[in-house]
């Protein structure tokens, strides 16, 4: 069984037992959270798609860790104008362990 969930402005396809990295969620490590924004639930060849959410469907997950992704380097330059700008960014993430999918 799998589900498509929406969190942090992005969509993820998850199944029970998986670990995923999502945008940072304000929760403590070890805390169990419930994600109720489920867009679709699939079981084999059967697929239930919500409009826009599947009613009554939830995904239970446990917060494993918080961290930061690798640095993304931003470099802007205008040729012949003596303009260069260097910048870096590290996005925060929360790692989740998917426990169960309830349709």
Residue 64 CB contacts under 8 Å (≥ 6 apart), including other chains: 19, 29, 95, 96, 97
- Segment 41-77, tens digit of pLDDT: 999 899 999 999 999 999 999 999 999 999 999 999 9
Residue-level pLDDT at 87: 98
Which structural domain range is residue 39 located in? 2-102
Number of domains in the chain: 1
> What average pLDDT does the structure give for the chain?
96
Residue 103 has pLDDT above 90, yes or no: no
Residue count of the chain:
103
- Segment 16-51, tens digit of pLDDT: 999 999 999 999 999 999 999 999 999 989 999 999
Q: What's the pTM?
A: 0.86
């Amino acid at each position: 069984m799998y589900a498509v969930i929406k969190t942090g402005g992005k969509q993820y396809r998850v199944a029970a037992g998986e670990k995923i990295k999502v945008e940072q969620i304000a929760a403590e490590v070890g805390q169990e959270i419930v994600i109720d924004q489920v867009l679709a639930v699939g079981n084999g060849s059967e697929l239930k798609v919500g409009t826009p959410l599947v009613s009554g469907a939830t995904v239970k997950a446990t917060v494993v860790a918080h961290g930061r992704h690798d640095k993304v380097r931003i470099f802007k330059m205008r040729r012949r104008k003596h303009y260069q700008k260097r910048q870096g960014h590290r996005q925060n993430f929360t790692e989740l362990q998917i426990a169960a999918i309830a349709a």
